[in-house]
Amino acid sequence: MSNVKVLGKGCHNCRATVRLIQDVLQEKGMPLDVEKVEDMQDIAAYGIMSTPGVVIDGTVVHAGGIPARAKVESWFN
């Protein structure tokens, strides 16, 4: 199973992104562990410039805005 992190300091879009990912994971019957990274220093370490960012197994796959559902689904295929 993959390690999913959502980077972002509790803004509306970050929460929506966490919900969307959990939704997709649930649909695929995968465990719902999504880790939230809220510390600015940790977020900056990933080198993203807009939040929310999504990191899967250490790779940044998305930054800025709520990702499209199709994009989220493609991460877990």
Partner 1 sequence: MNAVLAFPRLRPRAFIASSVVVWFAAYLALSPLADALVAMLPVARESRLFEAIRFFLYDTPKVLLLLTGVVMVMGMINSYFTPERTRVMLAGRTEGVGNVMAALLGIVTPFCSCSAVPLFIGFVQAGVPLGITFSFLISAPMVNEVALTLLFGLFGFKVAALYLGLGLTIAIVSGWVIGRARMEAHLEDWVRQMPKARATIGEDSLTLADRLEAGFASVREIVGKVWPYVIVGIAVGAAIHGYVPEAFMAKLMGRDAWWSVPLSVLIGVPMYANAAGIIPIVEALLSKGAALGTVLAFMMSVIALSLPEMIILRKVLKPRLIATFVAVVASGILIVGYVFNAVL
Residues interacting with partner 1, by CB under 8 A? 8-9, 11, 13-14, 40-41, 43-44, 47-51, 53, 64-66, 68
Cβ proximity of 55 and 7 under 8 Å? yes
Residue 43 CB, shortest distance to partner 1, in Å, is 6
Residue 9 is classified by DSSP as S
Task: Please report, for residues 36, 44, 55, the alpha-carbon distance to residue 30 in angstroms, rounded to integers and kept in the order given.
Answer: 18, 29, 17
Residue 32 or residue 40: which is nearer to partner 1 going by CB?
Answer: 40
Residue 71 or residue 76: which is nearer to partner 1 going by CB?
Answer: 71
**Whole-angstrom Cα Rg for the chain:** 11
Residue 25 or residue 53: which is nearer to partner 1 going by CB?
Answer: 53
